[in-house]
Amino acid sequence: MSAFSFPLLTATAALPAIGAVATAAVPAARRTAAKWLALVFSLATLALALLIAARFDPGAKGPFQLTESHAWIRDFGVRYDLGVDGIAVALIALTALLVPFVILAGWHDADPLEGAEPNRRWRPTQGFFALVLAVEAMVVLSFEATDVFLFYLFFEAMLIPMYFLIGGFGDRAGGRGEQQAAAQRSYAAVKFLLYNLAGGLIMLAAVIGLYAATAHQLGAGTFSLPEIVRARASGALQLGTGTERLLFLGFFFAFAVKAPLWPLHTWLPNAMGEATSPVAVLITAVVDKVGTFAMLRFCLQLFPEASRWAAPVILVLALISIVYGALLAVGQRDIKRLIAYASISHFGFIILGIFAMTSQGQGGATLYMVNHGISTAALMLVAGFLISRRGSRLIADFGGVQKVAPVLAGTFLIGGLATLSLPGLAPFVSEFLVLVGTFSRYPVIGIIATTGIVLAALYVLVLYQRTMTGPVKPEVKTMPDLRVRELVVVAPLIALLLFLGVYPKPLTDLVNPAVQHTLSVVDRKDPQPSVPVTAGPGGGGPGRTAQTQDVEAAK
Question: 3-state class of 290 per DSSP?
Answer: helix
Question: 3-state class of 439 per DSSP?
Answer: helix
Show the domain range for 501: 8-114+122-524
Question: 3-state class of 331 per DSSP?
Answer: coil
Evaluate the CA torsion angle 405, 380, 44, 427 in order and state its sign.
negative
Q: Are residues 515 and 535 in the same domain?
A: no
CB 225 within 8 A of CB 301: yes
Is 220 contained in some domain?
yes
C-alpha angle 366/457/270, rounded to 5°? 70
CA–CA separation, 44 and 35 (whole Å): 14
Report which of 420, 386, 418, 384 is spatially closest to residue 402, judged by C-alpha positions: 386
Q: Are residues 230 and 275 in the same domain?
A: yes
Q: Are residues 537 and 507 in the same domain?
A: no
CA–CA separation, 130 and 152 (whole Å): 22
Is 418 contained in some domain?
yes
Buried b (16+ CB within 10 A) or exposed e, 411-438: bbbbbbbbbbbbeebbbbbbbbbbbbbb
Spans of the chain, pLDDT less than 50: 1-4, 115-122, 535-555
Q: Which residues contact 306 (CB under 8 A, 6 or more apart)?
A: 244, 245, 247, 248, 249
Q: Are residues 57 and 127 in the same domain?
A: yes
Rg (CA), the chain: 24
Q: Please compute, for residue 545, the number of CA atoms within 13 A of its CA located in the half-sphere on the CB side.
A: 7
Is 347 contained in some domain?
yes
CA–CA separation, 270 and 340 (whole Å): 9
CB 199 within 8 A of CB 257: yes
CA–CA separation, 248 and 298 (whole Å): 9
Is 1 contained in some domain?
no
Is 55 contained in some domain?
yes
Report which of 423, 418, 440, 433 is spatially closest to residue 507, judged by C-alpha positions: 433
Is 370 contained in some domain?
yes
What does the pLDDT look like over 280-315, one tens digit per residue?
999 999 999 999 999 999 999 999 999 999 999 999
pLDDT given for residue 222 in this prediction = 87
Q: Are residues 386 and 531 in the same domain?
A: no
Q: Which residues contact 280 (CB under 8 A, 6 or more apart)?
A: 271, 272, 336, 339, 340, 380, 384
Q: Are residues 189 and 336 in the same domain?
A: yes
pTM across the whole model? 0.89
How many Cβ atoms from other residues are within 10 Å of residue 62's Cβ?
10
Q: Which residues contact 210 (CB under 8 A, 6 or more apart)?
A: 148, 223, 228, 247, 302
Q: Are residues 519 and 529 in the same domain?
A: no
Q: Which residues contact 183 (CB under 8 A, 6 or more apart)?
A: none
CA–CA separation, 372 and 260 (whole Å): 14
- The single-letter code of the amino acid at 249 is L
Report which of 93, 127, 108 is spatially closest to residue 12, judged by C-alpha positions: 93
Q: Which residues contact 542 (CB under 8 A, 6 or more apart)?
A: 532, 535
How many Cβ atoms from other residues are within 10 Å of residue 504's Cβ?
18
CA–CA separation, 353 and 437 (whole Å): 7
CA–CA separation, 60 and 62 (whole Å): 7
Which residue blocks in 282-391 are alpha helix, DSSP H? 289-294, 300-302, 304-330, 335-356, 359-390
Q: Are residues 496 and 545 in the same domain?
A: no
Q: Are residues 496 and 531 in the same domain?
A: no
Q: Are residues 16 and 104 in the same domain?
A: yes
What does the pLDDT look like over 522-539, one tens digit per residue?
777 777 766 555 544 444
CA–CA separation, 423 and 406 (whole Å): 23
Is 256 contained in some domain?
yes
Domain count, the chain: 2
Q: Are residues 518 and 530 in the same domain?
A: no
The DSSP letter of residue 68 is E
Q: Are residues 303 and 405 in the same domain?
A: yes
C-alpha angle 354/360/362, rounded to 5°? 20
